[in-house]
Amino acid sequence: MTRNLTQTHALFQKAKQVIPYGVNSNFRYWGDEHTLVVTRGEGAYIWDADENQYIDYRLGFGPVILGHGYPPVVERVAAAIRDGTIFAWMTPLEIQVAERVARMTGVDKVRLCNTGTEATMHALRIARAYTGRERFIKFEGQYHGVHDYVLFSTASTPPGTMGSRRSPVNVQLSSGIPEGISHYVINLPFNDFERLEETVEARWPDLAAIMVEPLLGNVAGILPQPGWLEEIRELCDYHGIVLIFDEVKTGFRIANGGAQEYFGVQADLATYAKAMGNGFPIAAIGGKESVMMVIEPGKVAHAGTYVGNVVGTAAANATLELLETQPVIETIFQRGQKLMDGIDDILTRAGIPHRVIGLPPIFGLILGTEEEPTDFRAYLEGDAALYERLAMALIERGVMPDSDGREPWFLCYSHGEQEIAETLTAFEDAVKSVKRQT
Ligand SMILES: Cc1ncc(COP(=O)(O)O)c(C=O)c1O
């Protein structure tokens, strides 16, 4: 079974002439043979330049919560931008979006951004300005964007490089980051209560923030252990540390109120992006009044030429309105659960050791073990090569998860019963073909 990728390959070669590695984000580079050029999307489907059709479970790395090219959103954006896109003044749309974010998530105050990277970068600055402290804790396997402070021990970290659990090493994921930056970042294993308590007790006078993805949205959706987020909340309260939930992947996806609602833990600051605009560029920082109000002209910076632009705000206003008025997340949970159960059943019948992990709107698989991973180190013990072979066999069959098992499967409102059934049929076939090869 081999797709025709003639046009795709030709376009990719053209892209490489002018764009480093032929892509505009390193994560989209899958090598000469497998990097796709996509020409369109509709609902749960995308098509490459050779008109091969795929049921899409990458959804642009998570933003598409309703469906590709979702008409009710596209029409609202098209109507809004006819009157201009940017004015360097407030617009009524910005107010509406901020009101919706506050109502849905329970935050007191909201500032808009364009991307998740901008949101986490500003959140760290706000936390530092609020506490007068400089360091922060993040957790191994968490990706918070591409600014210098957070490119340590992310989900791209190679196995065996993070040192011991007792004494984790910051692994820098890029050249070009000034040497001193690592000093400000402390990476700890997710779900490790003892390590967290010890570190906070020892270091709290320097700690401005604990930044946590409430579930590991960049490592197959690994869930917090019972009490984990509550423990972080308690430590932050006790030591005056700002708790930042990075909800770029969980926000407006696992509940209308994101992880704060789903897990019942309130952060001091939360960062949103992705699902907030169904694929249009829009992001936000929300938080408690006392913390957010340190933002002040001339004193604590938050800014951006494109912040609050009409394209993103019109998209967010329409997307959030649909989330508030239609059973979007509920439907995604039902269909996603069917898919997770179906995958579990197929792998069990095939005798492949595995666990299906995460929540239905954002879930993942670990192969080669029956152990439920509770952190990034444990996930790396799985059989990544087998996962990649399975994912590539699925892609050949018109079902598109990421080829890297760390990136979760995402569902959207447009994945209907039929797409789930077709995915499971393709999955069964892909598993058989992978087993034949081994
Ligand atoms: C949890 C999390 N935070 C932040 C980011 C960065 O967002 P962006 O790519 O919009 O800058 C990502 C991107 O995948 C993410 O998964």
Domains, the chain, in order of start with CATH, read 6-69+327-437 (3.90.1150.10), 71-325 (3.40.640.10)
**Which pair of tokens denotes residue 321?**
């309105």
DSSP state string for 364-428: EEEES--SPP-SHHHHTTS-HHHHHHHHHHHHHTTEE--SSTTSPEE--TT--HHHHHHHHHHHH
Regarding the beta carbon of 64 and ligand 1, being less than 6 Å apart is answered no
| 53-56 and 399-400 strand pairing | parallel
Q: What mean pLDDT is predicted for residues 334-359?
A: 98
Q: Is 250 in the pocket of ligand 1 (CB under 6 A)?
A: no
Q: How close is the Cα of 250 to the center of ligand 1, in Å?
A: 11
Give the mean pLDDT of 48-57. Answer: 98
**Whether the CB of 154 sits within 6 Å of ligand 1:** no
Q: Which residues pair with 168 in a beta bridge?
A: 163
Q: How far is the CA of 234 from the centre of ligand 1 (A)?
A: 26
Which of 25, 139, 249 for a ligand 1 pocket mutation test, highest count of atoms within 8 Å of Cβ?
249
Where does 307-327 have alpha helices with state H? 310-325
Q: Please say if the pLDDT value at position 83 is more than 70.
A: yes
Nearest residue by C-alpha to atom 2 in ligand 1:
144
- Does the beta carbon of 249 sit less than 6 angstroms from any atom of ligand 1? yes
The residue-averaged pLDDT of 273-296 equals 98
Q: Which of 364, 122, 119, 150 is nearest to 248 (CA)?
A: 119
Q: What is the pLDDT of residue 293?
A: 98
pLDDT (average), residues 84-92: 98
The DSSP bridge partners found for residue 300 are: 296
* Active-site residue identified among 56, 246, 268, 402: 246
Share of the chain above pLDDT 90, in %: 99
**1: pLDDT strictly greater than 70:** no
Is the predicted pLDDT of residue 438 greater than 90, yes or no?
no
Sequence-ordered list of residues with C-beta below 8 angstroms from that of 139, at least 6 positions apart, any chain: 187, 188, 189, 190, 212, 213, 216, 375, 376
246 labelled catalytic: yes
- Which pLDDT score, from 0 to 100, does residue 437 have? 86
pTM: 0.98
Strands across the sheet containing 354-359: 354-359, 362-367, 409-410
Alpha-carbon distance values, 151 to 43, 48, 113, 121, 155 (Å): 33, 31, 20, 12, 10
User: Which of the four pLDDT bands, split at 50, 70 and 90, describes residue 2?
Assistant: confident
Q: How far is the CA of 177 from the centre of ligand 1 (A)?
A: 18
Q: Cβ neighbours of residue 209 under 8 Å, at least 6 residues apart?
A: 123, 124, 127, 128, 131, 136, 137, 241, 242, 243, 244, 269
The three-class DSSP label of residue 99 is helix
| Enclosing H/E stretch for 269 | strand 269-272
Cα 129 to ligand 1 centre (Å):
23
Mean of the per-residue pLDDT values of the chain:
97
Q: Which of 274, 375, 387, 402 is catalytic?
A: 274
b/e code 146-172 from CB counts within 10 Å (16+ = b): bebbbbbbbbbbeeeebeeeeebebbb
From the CA of 247, give the closest atom in ligand 1: 1
User: Is the CB–ligand 1 distance for residue 114 below 6 Å?
Assistant: no
Cβ of residue 143 lying under 6 Å from some atom of ligand 1: yes
User: Which of 225-252 are b and which e, b meaning 16 or more Cβ less than 10 Å from the residue's Cβ?
Assistant: eeebbebbbebbeebebbbbbbbbbbbb
CA of 62 to the centre of ligand 1 (A): 9
Q: Does the annotation mark 274 as catalytic?
A: yes
Is 143 assigned a catalytic role? Answer: yes
- Supply the pLDDT for residue 246: 98
Q: In angstroms, what CA-CA distances link 229 with 224, 234, 245, 259, 384?
A: 7, 9, 10, 10, 28
Q: Which distant-in-sequence residues (6+ apart) come within 8 Å of 327 by Cβ?
A: none
Query: 3-state secondary structure string, 278-302?
Result: CCCCCEEEEECHHHHCCCECCCECC
Stated as kind and residue range, the H or E segment containing 138 is: strand 135-139
Query: What's the pLDDT tens digit per position in 301-331?
Result: 999 999 999 999 999 999 999 999 999 999 9
Whether ligand 1 lies within 6 angstroms of the CB of 217 is answered as: yes
Which residue's alpha carbon is at the smallest distance from atom 8 of ligand 1? 116
- Please state the rounded mean pLDDT for residues 156-176: 96
CA of 251 to the centre of ligand 1 (A): 11
